[in-house]
Structure 1
């Protein structure tokens, strides 16, 4: 299992939201590049980056901040938020992004995901964000009636490297990870699943690892790292080495 520290970008700064609401944004670091260096120093093997402004705008907005992160660290970076065309996927892969995360476009245009996987094997992930088990789109502002499992199954055999599953209701509020929902999804599909949302303590990570080791491919954490509830080095050791 891989531990992914998260950097969410809004207005060129590192922030966290509560339940996907942009009005709740709290700035934790004015320099995303410096924050990336902190996670690298802690021993992170991957970094999870989201362009929040881009997710709402439908196009990348914080490109300069992403470039600064890529220049600051050598670890692989996965990036999501407003990436909705093959040209934009190519742009980021050429600039050094290890894995591009497709969210809204994956649900609306699954054929684009299939083509992207064909062009860039192992470099495409799908982000499925859910509220009450139903997929939400457009920076979580649009609710659908599609279940997470049904949405994920559309990509079986397409070559998607991972499904990143976020429980919106838990995101940024430190209420604990959706262990049962994540394990259920991981068992229902053949694509590796990365858990996101709600992780508030090392105990949450231990529970997720105990239930999903060998089933869940990774876990993303943000808010708890920034407010000191989780030490990044301890989390990496627990998730990846214990």
Structure 2
């Protein structure tokens, strides 16, 4: 199982939010590229990037910070936030991203997701962010009546590389991931699933690893910045 260190970008800095609230941002680094280099030096093999401003604006905002990370890191990175048309998808993949994450458009424009997955095999993921099992879009600001598992099943035949499933109520709260819901989603589809939201200890990572579903990986942010998870120890445990 892959551990994806998260670098969430707001106004050019690496921050963490509490349950997606932009007013709760805690700045952890004014140099996201340096933070990325530290994660790579500790042994991570992937990075998970989010353009928080872009998620609200509907277009890339923190492009300079993302490009600095890509130039510095030397490992594959996936990015979500504000990617809502083919031109933006092509732009980011052309600039060295390994994978784009499509969230809002997975609900609002499924044809775009399918088109992108066909055009860029293995390089398009779907982000499913949910509160109480219902998908939220546009930077988690808009609630929908779409069931998270139903949305995942819609893309079973689309050729997407992964689903990133985030329990919004757990995100940034350091209260543990929703292991049960994540495992249930992973069992419901053949698409690889990446867990996100609330991963706050090595025990959380082990619980996800041993949840009974073959998860592709887990994303952690605040716990790595706070030191609640030692990245080297976590990588070692997940490689077992």
Give the TM-score, by structure 1 length.
Answer: 0.98
The match for 1:120 is: 120
- The aligned runs of 1:157-176 (5 Å cut-off) are 157-176=157-176
Answer yes or no: is 1:34 the counterpart of 2:34.
Answer: yes
SS at 1:96's partner residue? coil
Structure 1 Cα separation of the partners of residues 139 and 12 of structure 2: 17
CA displacement, residues 58-116 of structure 1 (integer Å, 9 cap, x when unaligned): 00100000000001011000001000000000000000000000000111000000000
Offset at residue 162 of structure 1 (A): 0.2
Number of aligned pairs? 240
Structure 1 spans left out of the alignment, 5+ residues: none
Q: CA RMSD in A?
A: 0.7
CA displacement, residues 160-218 of structure 1 (integer Å, 9 cap, x when unaligned): 00000000000000010111100000000111100000011101111111114x61111
Structure 2 spans left out of the alignment, 5+ residues: none
- The aligned runs of 1:39-188 (5 Å cut-off) are 39-188=39-188
Structure 2 Cα separation of the partners of residues 191 and 237 of structure 1: 25
The match for 2:219 is: 220
Structure 1 Cα separation of the partners of residues 62 and 21 of structure 2: 18
SS at 1:156's partner residue? coil
Structure 1 Cα separation of the partners of residues 110 and 153 of structure 2: 11
SS at 1:68's partner residue? helix
The match for 2:15 is: 15
Give the TM-score, by structure 2 length.
Answer: 0.99
Runs of 4+ in 1 over 2 A off after TM superposition: none
Offset at residue 15 of structure 1 (A): 0.0
